[in-house]
Chain A
Amino acid sequence: MYNINRPISPHLTIYNTQKSSLFSIWHRISGVAMFTLIASPPLFLKLATFSYKSFNILDLMLNNSSLILPWFIVIISVIFLYHIINGIRHFLWDSVVNVNTESIIKDSNTLLALVFLIMLFKFIL
């Protein structure tokens, strides 16, 4: 078929979940989700201005607020906060700080606690 010259690993479900791999995978997934969220508003604006019909998707979204999920902002900001704090961890790893297994596990626990606390103070309290 294709000329791939590398050994094929077994499927992902075989492995035990480790904290380091899980957090990096969710970093990537949250990054792609944030890219779609950030790249879509200018495209919607372009659709609203440069079209022959009077088709206004922003007006439709703002007037019918039941189309948008309730607690949508909370979910988005959880994704953003996770990406920001994990990005700070990546900074630390690039400038060789905290590159042990113990400190990685400790840092991931503090990451989840920080996200939970910031969301608690911002939205619920």
Chain B
Amino acid sequence: MYKTLLAQVFFHSIAKKKLYFFWLPRLFSLLLVPGFLFDIEILFLFHPIILLHASLGLSVIIEDYIHIETIKFQYLSLIKLLLVLLINLNILYLL
């Protein structure tokens, strides 16, 4: 019953097109678990996925603990800029 409920939630969220940005990075993060357990160097290949996951987490933390709106939006945009920079660096060093 739970499996059907999970599948229902997942496919409904993908079909609605607004919630896939909530579910997909979390499901991608499950791909990193065997990479951590068996070969930790392969995590550098999946760096953009990790950074997408980290941007979600950091933005949630900032939204919870910073209550002044202008500073909050400044921090959120700065985090997105930092993650774009880090993904570009990762692409550069993988080439």
Q: Are A80 and B36 in contact (CB under 8 A)?
A: yes
Interface size of B as a range:
20 to 34
B5 and A42: CB pair below 8 A? Answer: no
Q: Per-position contact with B for A81-118: 1 when CB-CB < 8 Å, else 0?
A: 00010011011001111000000000000000000000
A-B contact count (CB 8 A): 58
The complex places the Cα of A46 from the Cα of B90 at a distance, in Å, of: 10
A88 to B32, CA, bound (A): 12
Contact residues in B for A84 (Cβ distance below 8 Å): 32-33, 36
Q: Tell whether A38 pairs with B50 under 8 Å between CB atoms, given A95-B6, A96-B5.
A: yes
Instruction: Spell out A's residues near B (CB within 8 Å).
Output: 2, 4, 6, 28, 31-32, 34-35, 38-39, 41-43, 45-46, 77, 80, 84, 87-88, 90-91, 94-97
